[in-house]
Structure 1
Amino acid sequence: MANRGYSVLSKKAVECEKTSDYSDASIFWHRAAMVANRDENIEWAAKRRDTCASLDRNGWGHHADN
C-alpha cells in the first residue's frame, strides 16, 4: 500500500530543491521521514534532509532577504 503522506511531502521537498529553496526542502524531507513506513524511505528522506540543511546553512540556494 502506498504511503500518500510520504509521497506528498517528498514531492513538495523535490519541488523546493528544484527552486533551490533548501530551507523548506529540509523541512519537507524531515516531515516525510517522520511519516515514512519503509526503512529505505526513512533513510533517503533523512539523508536528503541533512543535505538540504547543509546547503542552506552554507549559503546555497535562494533566500527571501536577497
Structure 2
Amino acid sequence: MSVSGLCELCQTNEVVDGCDRCGRVVCADHYDRPTGLCTDCLKEAGGRPTGEEDPVPGDGPDGVDTYEF
C-alpha cells in the first residue's frame, strides 16, 4: 500500500500501512503486520500486538483476582 502522511492514531509518525478492519492509516508503532490491524482494532478484537508478552499470572494489583475464604 502506498500511503503518505501522519499516523491517524498518534499524529506524529509517518504512515506505513492501513488497517484492514477500519481503514485508518497508521505508523509502524500502531500497526500489527501479521494480523493487518491497527492497535485499536486489535485491542477491540481481544488480541495483543505481536511480540507483546502475556501477562504473568498473579501479577494483578494486590491479588484482586485471588480470593481466599
TM-score (norm 2): 0.27
> Higher strand fraction: Structure 1 or Structure 2?
2
Q: Which has the larger radius of gyration?
A: 2
> Higher helix fraction: Structure 1 or Structure 2?
1
With a CA cutoff of 8 Å and minimum separation of 6, indicate the structure with the bigger relative contact order. 1
TM-score (norm 1): 0.28
